Structure formats: structure tokens, C-alpha cells
Structure 1
Amino acid sequence: MARSKIWKYFDKLDLQTAQCLLCEKIIKTCGNTSNLMKHMKTHPQIDVNDHDSVVVRGMLKRDSNRIRVRGKKMLKYASIKIKPEATRDIDAETVADMDGNIIELVDAEAHAAVVSVVNEETYANWAAAEAESATETVCAEDIIEFEPKEAQEQAEQGTPLYHIEDEPLPEVELLVRNLQTPYNTTYQDNLAYFVCHDKQPLKIIEGEGFKRLAQVLCPVLQMPSVDQLGARIAQKTQQQVAQFRQQIAQIQTLSLSCAINTTPSTGNKEKQNSYLEVAAHYHEGLQRRSRTLSVQMLPVQYNASNIVERLDRVCQRFDIDKSKIVCIVSRSSRMLETAIATLLGAQRHMPCFAHLLETIFESVMERSEFRALCDRVRQLTKTADVMSRAMGSYEMLESHLRHAAQLQKTLSSSELDLAAELLAVLAPLASAVRQLCGASVDTYPCASQALPIAFTVLNELKHPENAEQQQHQIAYELRLFVIRLLEERFEGMEKNMQLALASLLDPRYRNMPFQNASLLAKYMTHLYDLYMEKGEVSTDEVGEEATTVHTTYDIWTAFRAISHEKHKHITMNGESENEDEISSYFCTSISSLQSEPLLLWKDLSQFHPFLHSMAKKYLHIPAAAMPPARIFTAAGAEILEQHGKLLGDHMSNMLFMADCNQQEWQL
């Protein structure tokens, strides 16, 4: 594209500013020449379409031969000042070397590009020297001189002769004034927060599109390198690790979850990388919190001892006392179970409930009658293969049945009836999966939900009305198959101490979701034994929690205190005076299912202080070794793909900082 003719009258200082050669004003260009053309209207003597004119600073000479401009140096991203000792008697040779004698760099990284303009006599002498060196004589009528009034006033006052037509915003001036390095700490921390929170690879900042966006948003700041940004993330990680150590030292118990993930290698798609992801789960006030502690690469041929070594390394890094770890949740894997038993003991391992449901769906998809129906739908709709994702075939069949009336190619009426009955059999199981997944791909469900969910699904499948509605033998056999799988796994779940106590100590479920009466009696006896060993628990801790939550007077806090005292008085003088806190807790009806368990315990702790202390020990345990959405939804595959791009020296630090909020980032 041809260069605009307007540039004959301007010098381009940078991407956003240009200086008029006639009046020395600096004009913002904003990527186009509109402001430049507008400014030339202030010089009515100039004919922009005059191709024979040649511009010398401060004059216009009509000559076919361009005169080389001397004594001027472009200083991009630099501000300058005139030395006070500069005299008014400056010859042409001095002007030609004015960079070294009258210009001094102040800050090479400043925002504005400003070129100094010397006094009136300097330009007169310099212009005369240029005129003498020209090949042709210039008449007075061929020269149009421009001496802005502002320049005359500034020359008389002895101030530097420069002017910026469009003043920068105060925020930009403040940013430039506070700029001490090519990129300041706040800018770099927000950039680090972006790549960590969104789990983006560090190399994203090297992309041309990202660089362009950063330049437009903040042109005065330079982009850090990948190594510099990784070093900043490592520095923030060290600060958070130190704070988390102090937090761990103050809490009584926590639980861990570990999962082995496998992603294709970025360089070789056939090669796979395996890494161990470890997360901690604990209570922060009345809220349950989960955060990733470590992501460590595993050898190509790893074993249980490699896992033990990495789990032990995590405990050492965060000063986690192993006696505080209630349990470690993992998938049903002999290698993981062996590693956890070596580290803590076999009794402190808890199976992943989400993995249990995943295996049931995989078993259902392997049945020939169900697989044949799904293959038939794929052929008709040309749907992509979803067999690799748990519950994928169910969702495909469900979507086809819902939109069958609008589809040109669909199943026959008998096949549609069979599909409807198969989906009805699996509907309780699918609802349980969706409940576990929740609204976020990073949410860990509470372990206390596992037994109630499995108990409810079993009862729904065994209900006589559901069996009578099925007319196809295939659907009937599938229902019996799912019931058998659930009963086998439910028995193992009831036998797990951590899972059982988590449900018992959740006010929303208590002792309801149990089928084995002997196991329930065993757990009740265990609670009584612990109660007798520890004796009565003081309620001082409860009072402290109440004062920390309500810093100002609250009418409902006062009402709660009055109701507690009244309830205690009735209990001491009524029929229930012989009941202990364990009996009274399990005799009371279940609480609201929509409330958080620790918020319910805020009221119950006045009457059941011992059980409240036990609840804080077990209610932080997760029901899955990883967020269930990564197992059952398409977002899980995307997250694993993101992790594959992050694999490297900074992956563990980035995923650790991804779980930190803005307050912890100090943004």
C-alpha cells in the first residue's frame, strides 16, 4: 500500500504519535492519518497535493531535490531535557552535534517520545546553513516560515519548546511514573493469575495474537519471557506453601485424594505420560475446601513404591503430620491401595464412589443388547463415538429419543419403546452421576452423600411399580443386572469405616442409608466407645466459633441462644433426661437436604458437642478421587488435554496456584 502523502510533513515518533515538521507539535495518530490531516488545516499556506514541495523543519521549500535533514535524532520511548548551561550562540556545527551537547537522556523506558526543540536563533542559523548547502538558490517568496505563538512565549521564558496536543490520561501518567522495571509486579502477577486460573500453558504469552492484545491494552509494558513468568509463579507458590503450612498446623484433621492421570505426549502421540495428582480436603471455618497440592510425573514403568515416595514427598513439603490424615481416597486399584496401606495403613483407604458408578456404566455398555441399540443410533445419526466416556452412550440414546419426532432417520417404533425402557432402568443411576458432578468441573462431592445415593438408587430399582412397567425382557434383565452390581458394591461401601461415619455424622442422612443392621450396630458401638473415652466435650469451642462468625449483634443469634437454653431445660426436666447426646441425635428426624452439614451442626453443636467434634473429622472427606465431572462429562477430556499441555517444570506450581483465590494471590 502506498505511503500517505501527509507523512511528508510529519516525523513518525512511534506507533501512536507523530511530530509536525512545521510547528513541532506532537499529534496522536491512533493507527491512521485522520488527526494528521486535521492538524494540517491549521496551516492554510500548505497545499498537501503539492508534490514538488520539500519540507525542512520550520519552513517549506519548493524544490524538486529533497534537502537532507541534519541535526535531528529520533529518540523512541525516551524523554529529554535541555541543559540550563546551553548558550544562545550555537553555530551550525554545534547544532549538527546537538545530541551530545544539549540533550540528555532522563529515562530510556518512559512512555512519551519527545524531541527537544532549541531556541529561535538555533533554527535560524541551522536553516541558513541548509539553504547555503542546497544546489539551488531559494528566494524569499518560495519560503513559508512557521513560528507558533506558543513557541515564542516558551522561548522568552527559557522553557523547553515542546507541546503534546492530546494529553495522556492521568492513569497512564501514573503508571509510567511508577514504572521501575520493563514490567511491574502487578502486571506480572495478573498475567500469572490468568495462566494458572485458566490452566493455560505458559507459551501462550509468546503467541502473536496475545502479544498484540497486550500491546493494545498496555503499550508501555513489556511482555515477560516464559522463564520469567514461570519464576514469578514459583515465587508465589513458595509464599502460598509457607502460608498453607501454617494453616495445616492449626487444623485438626484433613483428608487426601490421589489419582493417576494419563495424557498423550505432546511430541509423540503414541507415547503417554502419567502423573500423580494429590489434593487436600479440609474445613476452612464452616466451609469445606479442596485444593491441589502436587502434580508429579511418574516413570514410564511405575509401581507402588514410586507412588509412596511421591505421597511422602507431598507430606514433607507441606509439613503434614500423617496422624492428621483421616484417609486417602483413590480409585479401586491394587497398586494405589498397596501404596496407601504402606504409607498409612490399609484401614485408612477409602474407595472412590464416582469410580464405582463409572464401572457400572461401563458394564452396562458392554452388554450386547444395549451396545447393539447404541450402534444402531450411531449409524442413523452419524454420531461420533462416545464409548470412551462413561455414560456417553446413555446420553446419546437419551438425546435421540427426545428428538426422534424431528429426525428424518430414526429407530423403529419397537426399538424406540425398548430404548425408552432401557433409559428408565438407568435413569436413577444417571441422576446419581449428575448429582455428583454438580455445577463445576472442579467440585469434589462430600463422601457423606455416597451411601444415601447408592441406597436410594437400589430402592428405586427394586420398587415393584418400576418392574411392572417393563414389557421387554431385555429391560427386565438389565434392571436385575444393575441391581446385582449395586448390591455387591454397596456391601463394600458399608464396610468402609470412613464412608459409614461420614454418613452417620451428616445431619441430613444420619443412620437412614444402611441395609446391614449388624454393621450399623457396630458403628454405633464405636461411637459410644469413643464418647466414653473422651468424656464430655466442652462447648467453649462452639462459643468461640459463634463469636467469630458474628462480629456484630444479630437478633437471630440471640434467639438461637435462648432456644438452646430452653431446649436444655426441657431435656433436663423432661422425659428425655436419661438420653445421651448420641441417642438423642439419631432419634431426631433428618435435617434439610439443601443445607451444608457444618451449617446444620452450628445449631446442633449445643446439644451434641462430642458428635460435632467427630463430624468435623469426617465431613471433609470427598466421595471421589478427582472431580466426577472429569470422569463423566466431555469437559473432563478437555481438562486432561489442558494438563497435557502444562506438563513440565511449572505444572505442579500452576495447578497449586490455580486453586488459590484472588485474596491469596494478593491482586
Structure 2
Amino acid sequence: MIKVAQILKIRHMPCFAHSLNLVIKDVLTEPNVKELIDKCSSIVSHFKRSTLASDKLKSIQRDIKKPEMKLIKYIEIRWNSAYFMLKRIMAVKEELTLAISQLSNAPSNLSADEYIFLGELVKLLDPFDTCTAAVSGDKYVTISLIIPLIKGLCLKMVEFETDNFTEAAHIVIQHMKTAINDKLKPFESRSACIIATLLNPHFKKVGFKTDADVERAISYVHKEYSSYLSSRQILRASAIESTATGDSSLENDSDTPKKSKLDSLLSFVDAHQNREIHSVTADTIIDVRQYLAKPLLPRTEYPIEYWTFNENSLKHVALKYLCIPGSSTPAERIFSKAGQVVTDRRNRLSSKHINALLFLNVNYNLLKK
């Protein structure tokens, strides 16, 4: 069972998926991109409004034995909808061109250069869609994905810079790099993300960009783990002291040595306890080093299961941080589902019935069990 993020630790963490969407919104304001989006939106709107145009597109798709795929409209408030629109237009490029050429009042089609730029833009936006899907999950740990995904995006930008893209696409790449630095870099300095990344056995040190980031992460884990070990030792010492006090009250004062003399005689026990407390630092370093020395966990296995059955006391810190941080993604999904439930032909549904239908839709898999 995956835990929700602990309120005290991650209460001020913004939604990473929303931050990714803000990066895309910044990119869509780039003049070349905006011009292409507007032109594509005009084409899609025409095929959505005109039954003749949509029927023509379906007919051509059947004639050339292509799957019937509708065009997707760009809606600003829906995440990645611009990417989905462009990707679909690229997928139906051939039949769309034929349909537009056979329609008298259709908007002008994209030029060859615009189709090239559109294909490049789809390729550039694809990693952001992948990241959004990854961090929007609610059945696996997501907080430890944030820093590695930022690293992956930055590496992709470097890779894209070496590709043989058009000048317009290279301008978009630079725009993306700036937006990533502005909108996503703050997540790399959040202690909860840092600790969770290092304690995710899928990533460990590999999830960070630089050696300095790795050292900072290890330092954070050392501090958190030593604090846990120290508190555990204090609780143990307190329990021993309480037990000793309780036992002495049952004994006859005449048969028991005075407490001060007994303490003096058994002072070597206190000295040993002090050595145990001082060894917290050594235990912290050894346990963290042993964990980091082990091979990375295969991506097919689950971090929570790895730590649940691990004997290393470090698991108490790992299970505290490996969680799902609060996200606005479920709310966005509910709004999208509501739009599919309340249509023009079902506009008389009461709010009570809408809520019931949405509840059943979201919890259908649970109800089947």
C-alpha cells in the first residue's frame, strides 16, 4: 500500500506535473510554435464543425485502409492537448492532405516545411508527455522520480541540440532549456525529493546530475538517519531506566545497596551506553555505504517491497520518504471525465447523478473486486 506524502515534510511542495505543464505553456508562446498551433487549430476546428469534412476524412481513411482517427482539438486548460493535436495531425497527414484538397471551403493545408517543423515539435514535446504520465501515477512511488526525470529531460535537450533539426526547432530547444531551468530546477533543492531519490534503489547516486548533488544527498540521508538512530537509542535508554526504577521499588531497601553506590559500582554500563550513542555516526556511515554499494534494483521490481523486506534500519527513513506527493492531476482528470459525462445530449443530468457517475467511473476497478 503506497503512503500519501507526510504533511509536515512535503506540505509546501508544488505539483510537479503542473510545473511540467507550465514549461510547455512557455514553449507554446514562442512565435513559430504559436503560428503553427493556430494554423493546426483552424484545421481541426473546421473538421470538428463540418460533418461533410469529417465524413470525407473517414472515407479517405477507409479507402486507403488506414485506421479511422479523429482529429484532436487543442484546449488550453487540458495538459498536453497541444502535443496530442500535433501528434494526431502528423499521424493522419496523408489522408488529411487528400481531404483538404477535395473540400471547397476547407482551410489551407500546412506546407511541406510546416509539416517538417510539426514533426520536429512532436519529437521535442514527447519527453514532457512521458514525464507527465510518469509522475501522475497513483499506484507507485512518484516523489523519487522527480529529480531523475529532470536529469533525463536535460540530457534529452543536449541530445536534441546535436540532431539535424531546422533552425526553428533549435530555437524551441533553447526555449525549453530556459523553461526547464526556471520551472523545474527548484525541485532539485527540495530535501524530500533529494532523500527519496537516493533511497530509491532504482536510482541511488545515478539519479543526480553531478557529484556535488550526490554528496549533498548523502549528507541529507546521514542527518536524517542519524537522527532516527539517536532517537531510537534515547527511547531504549528511557525504557531501561523506567524498568530499573520500577524494579527497585519492589525491593527491600535493607537488601539493596544504596543507588549512588550501585551506580558507582556499575559505571562501566553507563560508559558502554555512551559509546553506543557515539557510535551512531559510525553506524550511519556504514549502513548508508552498504546500501549504496549494492547493485541497482531492476525497474520491474518495487522500491517499497525492497525496503519492507530489508533488514537494514535505513528502511525506516526510506519508507518515510518514498511516497506519492500531493498532485493536482487527479482533479484535472475528474474535470476531463466530467466533460465526457456531461455532453450536449446529456445536459439535463442533475449534479447528484453527475457525482454518482464520476464516482463509479473513478472507482470501477475497485468495485469489480
Instruction: Identify whether the pair has TM-score above 0.5, normalized to the shorter chain.
Output: yes
How far apart are 1:419 and its partner, in Å?
0.9
Q: How does 1:298-447 map to 2 (within 5 A)?
A: 325-328=7-10, 348-381=11-44, 382=46, 383=48, 384-407=73-96, 408=98, 409=100, 410-437=109-136, 446-447=142-143
For the 8 Å contact 2:222–2:284, the answer to whether it is kept is no
Tell me the TM-score normalised to structure 2 length.
0.63
Structure 1 consecutive aligned stretches of length 4 or more whose deviation exceeds 6 Å: 639-642, 645-648, 658-663
Structure 1 residues 376, 444: closer, same or farther in 2, change over 3 A?
farther
The answer to whether 1:496 aligns with 2:190 is yes
User: CA offsets per residue over residues 381-430 of structure 1, 9 Å max, x none?
Assistant: 42545233221111111111111112223422111111111222222112
CA distance, structure 2, for counterparts of residue 449 and residue 494 of structure 1:
11
CA distance, structure 2, for counterparts of residue 447 and residue 586 of structure 1:
19
Secondary structure of the residue that 1:535 maps to in structure 2?
helix
User: CA offsets per residue over residues 177-236 of structure 1, 9 Å max, x none?
Assistant: xxxxxxxxxxxxxxxxxxxxxxxxxxxxxxxxxxxxxxxxxxxxxxxxxxxxxxxxxxxx
For the 8 Å contact 2:195–2:220, the answer to whether it is kept is no
How far apart are 1:484 and its partner, in Å?
1.6
Secondary structure of the residue that 1:435 maps to in structure 2?
helix
User: CA offsets per residue over residues 293-328 of structure 1, 9 Å max, x none?
Assistant: xxxxxxxxxxxxxxxxxxxxxxxxxxxxxxx63435
How far apart are 1:437 and its partner, in Å?
4.1
Structure 1 residues 660, 630: closer, same or farther in 2, change over 3 A?
closer
User: CA offsets per residue over residues 434-491 of structure 1, 9 Å max, x none?
Assistant: 33345xxx7686211111112111111112xx32323421100100111121123332
Q: How does 1:453-492 map to 2 (within 5 A)?
A: 453-463=149-159, 466-492=160-186
Structure 1 residues 489, 379: closer, same or farther in 2, change over 3 A?
closer
For residue 163 of structure 1, what is the aligned residue in structure 2?
Answer: none
AA of the residue aligned to 2:325: P
For residue 148 of structure 2, what is the aligned residue in structure 1?
Answer: 452
How far apart are 1:602 and its partner, in Å?
3.6
Q: How does 1:274-293 map to 2 (within 5 A)?
A: 287-288=1-2
CA distance, structure 1, for counterparts of residue 121 and residue 284 of structure 2:
52
Larger fraction in helix: 2
Identity of aligned residues (%): 19
Q: How does 1:241-256 map to 2 (within 5 A)?
A: none
How far apart are 1:583 and its partner, in Å?
0.9
Structure 1 residues 588, 415: closer, same or farther in 2, change over 3 A?
same
CA distance, structure 2, for counterparts of residue 662 and residue 432 of structure 1:
26
How far apart are 1:579 and its partner, in Å?
7.0
For the 8 Å contact 2:205–2:214, the answer to whether it is kept is yes
For the 8 Å contact 1:444–1:622, the answer to whether it is kept is no
How far apart are 1:365 and its partner, in Å?
1.9
**Cα RMSD after superposing both structures:** 3.9
How far apart are 1:638 and its partner, in Å?
4.4
Return the match for 2:201 from 503, 507, 527.
507
Structure 1 residues 655, 496: closer, same or farther in 2, change over 3 A?
farther
For residue 614 of structure 1, what is the aligned residue in structure 2?
Answer: 317
How far apart are 1:373 and its partner, in Å?
0.8
CA distance, structure 2, for counterparts of residue 636 and residue 586 of structure 1:
46
Structure 1 residues 387, 587: closer, same or farther in 2, change over 3 A?
same
How far apart are 1:493 and its partner, in Å?
0.6
For the 8 Å contact 2:225–2:284, the answer to whether it is kept is no
Secondary structure of the residue that 1:350 maps to in structure 2?
coil
The answer to whether 1:589 aligns with 2:278 is no
Structure 1 segments unaligned to the other structure (5+ residues): 1-286, 292-323, 329-347, 539-576
Secondary structure of the residue that 2:9 maps to in structure 1?
strand
For the 8 Å contact 2:74–2:85, the answer to whether it is kept is no
User: CA offsets per residue over residues 560-602 of structure 1, 9 Å max, x none?
Assistant: xxxxxxxxxxxxxxxxx99711012123332111222111224
For the 8 Å contact 1:364–1:370, the answer to whether it is kept is yes
For residue 294 of structure 1, what is the aligned residue in structure 2?
Answer: none
For residue 67 of structure 1, what is the aligned residue in structure 2?
Answer: none
For the 8 Å contact 1:508–1:592, the answer to whether it is kept is yes
User: CA offsets per residue over residues 484-531 of structure 1, 9 Å max, x none?
Assistant: 211233321111111211212111112222235445423322322343
Which structure is richer in relative contact order (CA contacts within 8 A, separation 6 or more)? 2
For the 8 Å contact 2:4–2:326, the answer to whether it is kept is no
For residue 599 of structure 1, what is the aligned residue in structure 2?
Answer: 305
CA distance, structure 2, for counterparts of residue 480 and residue 427 of structure 1:
16
Structure 1 residues 639, 446: closer, same or farther in 2, change over 3 A?
farther
Structure 1 residues 520, 400: closer, same or farther in 2, change over 3 A?
same
Structure 2 segments unaligned to the other structure (5+ residues): 49-72, 101-108, 234-282
Structure 1 residues 379, 390: closer, same or farther in 2, change over 3 A?
same
CA distance, structure 2, for counterparts of residue 661 and residue 422 of structure 1:
36
CA distance, structure 2, for counterparts of residue 357 and residue 402 of structure 1:
24
Count of aligned residue pairs for this structure pair: 276
Secondary structure of the residue that 1:370 maps to in structure 2?
helix
For residue 580 of structure 1, what is the aligned residue in structure 2?
Answer: 286
CA distance, structure 2, for counterparts of residue 327 and residue 638 of structure 1:
36
AA of the residue aligned to 1:428: P
CA distance, structure 2, for counterparts of residue 461 and residue 628 of structure 1:
30
Larger fraction in strand: 1
